[in-house]
Amino acid sequence: DSGVTQTPKHLITATGQRVTLRCSPRSGDLSVYWYQQSLDQGLQFLIQYYNGEERAKGNILERFSAQQFPDLHSELNLSSLELGDSALYFCASSDMGGLEDTQYFGPGTRLTVL
Amino acid sequence: DQQVKQNSPSLSVQEGRISILNCDYTNSMFDYFLWYKKYPAEGPTFLISISSIKDKNEDGRFTVFLNKSAKHLSLHIVPSQPGDSAVYFCAASDTGGFKTIFGAGTRLFVKA
């Protein structure tokens, strides 16, 4: 158990809908990362937050947005969903957000868009 | 543009033998490299890392080698155990650019 929790575990929705994925980091970690893993693909970095502020942005679509709240939990919002958005979405956390910090990953949310 | 490539989707090794997983990168700005292991239905877990100022880092049965001139790194597992069967992701960081790029992963099967 990494200490990172993600809810829900599974999500099935239809095209055009909007969903919110939630992540609670390990106790004491200030930084949260979001990744997308599509079928047979590596982990695609989406976005990183540190102590409530956006720190780095990767290949995140404009239809997607995220935020980190004062209690350090984070939400990833996916809107106008398309079939191609079906993937595993991982959240990770680290203590200070440096790239040499170990990232601890949650178990992921499997999103299926029908 | 795949900046981090793991060209072998899968690898099968006999228990007790050496497993060698390879990773190539293209961006010379990468200065920190990591390996993560992932079991089914779980998130990736950190395994071992190496800074670009080193060419080798060892942790128990796991050793990572870095060849900067070839932009190549490898993970050696000796001896391999059935519990090592998992997907292994190579990742590279540009610490100045605050980004970590992951490879597509190599699925390792260790046969008893």
Closest CA to A18 of A101, A82, A91, A68: A82
Confidence at residue A29, expressed as pLDDT on a 0 to 100 scale: 95
Q: Chain B contacts of A45, Cβ < 8 Å?
A: 99-102
Strand segments (E) across B27-98: 32-38, 45-51, 56-59, 62-67, 72-77, 86-94
Confidence at residue A40, expressed as pLDDT on a 0 to 100 scale: 67
Q: Establish how many alpha carbons lie within 13 A of residue A75's alpha carbon, considering only the half-sphere containing its beta carbon.
A: 9
Confidence at residue A100, expressed as pLDDT on a 0 to 100 scale: 76
The answer to whether B54 contacts chain A (CB < 8 Å) is: no
Alpha carbons B66 and B44: distance in angstroms, whole number:
21
Confidence at residue B49, expressed as pLDDT on a 0 to 100 scale: 94
Residues 3-32 on B with a CB inside 8 Å of A are 4, 6, 9, 32
The answer to whether A94 contacts chain B (CB < 8 Å) is: no
Alpha carbons B97 and A57: distance in angstroms, whole number:
10
Closest CA to B102 of B54, B56, B34, B42: B34
User: DSSP characters for B71-86?
Assistant: TEEEEEESS--GGG-E
3-state secondary structure of A84: helix
Closest CA to B5 of B59, B70, B56: B70
CB-based contact A9:A91 (threshold 8 Å): no
B53-90: b or e for each residue (b if 16 or more CB lie within 10 Å)? eeeeeeeeebbbbbeeeebebbbbbeebeeebbbbbbb
The answer to whether A25 contacts chain B (CB < 8 Å) is: no
Confidence at residue B97, expressed as pLDDT on a 0 to 100 scale: 63
A92's CB contacts (< 8 A; 6+ apart) are: A4, A32, A33, A35, A103, A104, A105, A106, B43
Alpha-carbon dihedral A104, A66, A60, A49, rounded to 10 degrees: -50
Confidence at residue B1, expressed as pLDDT on a 0 to 100 scale: 61
Alpha carbons B54 and B67: distance in angstroms, whole number:
9
What sign does the dihedral B36-A79-A27-A33 (CA atoms) show?
positive
Q: Which of B5, B6, B25, B46 has the highest number of chain A CBs within 10 A, making it the mutation to test binding with A?
A: B46
Confidence at residue A10, expressed as pLDDT on a 0 to 100 scale: 96
Inter-chain CB proximity B43 and A42 less than 8 Å: no
Q: What is the mean pLDDT of each run of 10 residues along chain B (112 residues)?
A: 88 97 94 93 93 95 97 97 96 78 93 94
The segments of chain A whose pLDDT lies below 70 read 40
Q: What is the pLDDT of residues A48-65, one digit of tens each?
A: 999 999 998 888 999 999
